[in-house]
Amino acid sequence: MEQRFIDVIQLIKQSRIKAIKAVNTELINLYWNIGEYISKRIETTEWGQSVVKELAQYIQRTEPEIKGFSDKNLWRMKQFYETYKDFPKLSALSRQLSWSHNLAILSRCKSIEEREFYLNISK
């Protein structure tokens, strides 16, 4: 590769990284919002547990190209929201990680302090 073009390649790579981070942040925000929506519906007893499964089936039936919204994953979104809703600092940190990293922290850590530790070292 010619030396004079390296700067342009770096600009391209930096922009790709920024785009990926922006998409990830938006997905995490979406999962947070869905988790909040489900949590509040269940909290006000508008919804029971079976409604989440019905929602997942509805999404799959009406929008088959949309993936990642199984009932299991919808429950994870609810857990994600409920775990961090009272901890704004941790909520902000969690939005910097991928969904798979968030799920690993949620499933393996037993306390909020432990989650905070792993969120901090993962950013």
pLDDT tens track for 64-74: 999 999 999 99
Please provide the average confidence, as pLDDT, over all residues in the chain. 93
Is the pLDDT assigned to residue 89 strictly greater than 70? yes
Predicted model pTM: 0.87
| DSSP states of 5-29 | GHHHHHHHHHHHHHHHHHHHHHHHH
Position 46 pLDDT exceeds 90? no
Q: Distance between CA 55 and CA 60 in Å, rounded?
A: 9
> Tokens 């909520």 belong to which residue?
91
* Contact assessment for residue 86 and residue 112, using Cβ atoms and an 8 Å cutoff: no
- Tell me the CA end-to-end span of the chain in Å, nearest whole number: 33
CB 52 within 8 A of CB 75: yes
**pLDDT at residue 123, rounded to an integer:** 72
Question: Could you read off the pLDDT of 94-103 as tens digits, one per residue?
Answer: 998 999 999 9
3/13 Cα distance (integer angstroms): 16
pLDDT for res 103 = 95
